[in-house]
Amino acid sequence: MDTTLAISEAGVNVALHKALLALPPVSNSDTKTWGPFFASYSVSVALAGGVATLENAPANKLDLSNVNVSGAVFASIGFDLGLILPHLCFPPVKVCVDLDILGTYCLPQFCIPWPHAGISTSLPFNFNLDLSFGFRVDDLGLQWGIVLLVDPFSPRFDLSPMASSIINQMKAEVNSKLSALPILGGLVAELLGTVMDAFKPFVSVLLDAFSTLINSALSLLDLLNVSIPFTLFKFDKQQTFIPANIPNSGDSPVKLTLTALNANVLDKELVAEGQFA
């Protein structure tokens, strides 16, 4: 005995949207050091929206477009100014004179103790993602499951607007640190320029690290994890059938077991076909 169940494209959209709402946000974190620079950062990512389109066999695919990916990178960024700025002392060399019977007298020398500089910042991001999924039927014990298998994807997002925000915040922090030191005076602007020249190439490295972190967080979401089938629909293997002439007859409901199931896309519908024993 064969059976067929068809789920419309609209029905698939409803099921997927409910599944996306049920996915909790995920997060990931990392710490890295690049020479005098260091950064500790974490990312939080969530999915929403998207429009599902079914592709008929032989493609047998589900395309999900305009899935909104949103979240923020929370970062603590800084560097050791002493590893960037030159060693400065006033006077530049220690001056000592021999005062004969009074001994040796040295002029006081002050060397700049370069501080660490750091900022903590939140950098939000928001972009849309297009995905494709294949179908597979899995035996789940007492149920059959129609699962989605995501095709490898490359998230499309641009973190470059964050660069100016990071640089401006760090520039203000470094300026504050340097201005608080005695003696520097007019040297502050020149020293700030030296620090920023060293800092700018680091920002692109940092943003690449943020991108990797966002990708790793996305891969933790069940829907996007290539190693975890995402179950879209479940069907109990044992189904109860009621004779059409009840209650006029004494026939009892019949329980049949769904022994096989396959899924295909036909005429923009997800069609599940199986056999009862």
What pLDDT digit, counting tens, does each position of 218-228 carry? 888 878 877 77
Domain that holds residue 124: 9-234
Residue entry with tokens 């990512």: 45
The three-state secondary structure class of 114 is: coil
> What are the CA-CA distances from residue 143 to residues 4, 11, 36 (Å)?
16, 20, 57
Q: What is the DSSP letter of 223?
A: G
pLDDT at position 144 is: 87
Pull the structure tokens for residue 144: 């059959």
Is 251 part of a structural domain of the chain?
A: no
Is 248 part of a structural domain of the chain?
A: no
Is 176 part of a structural domain of the chain?
A: yes
pLDDT at position 100 is: 77
Higher pLDDT, 237 or 188: 237
**Measured between alpha carbons, how far is 233 from 133 in angstroms, rounded to an integer?**
14
Is 261 part of a structural domain of the chain?
A: no
In this predicted model, what pLDDT tens digit does every residue of 103-125 receive, in sequence order?
888 888 888 888 888 888 888 88
How many domains is the chain built from? 1
Q: Check: CB of residue 68 under 8 Å from CB of residue 130.
A: no
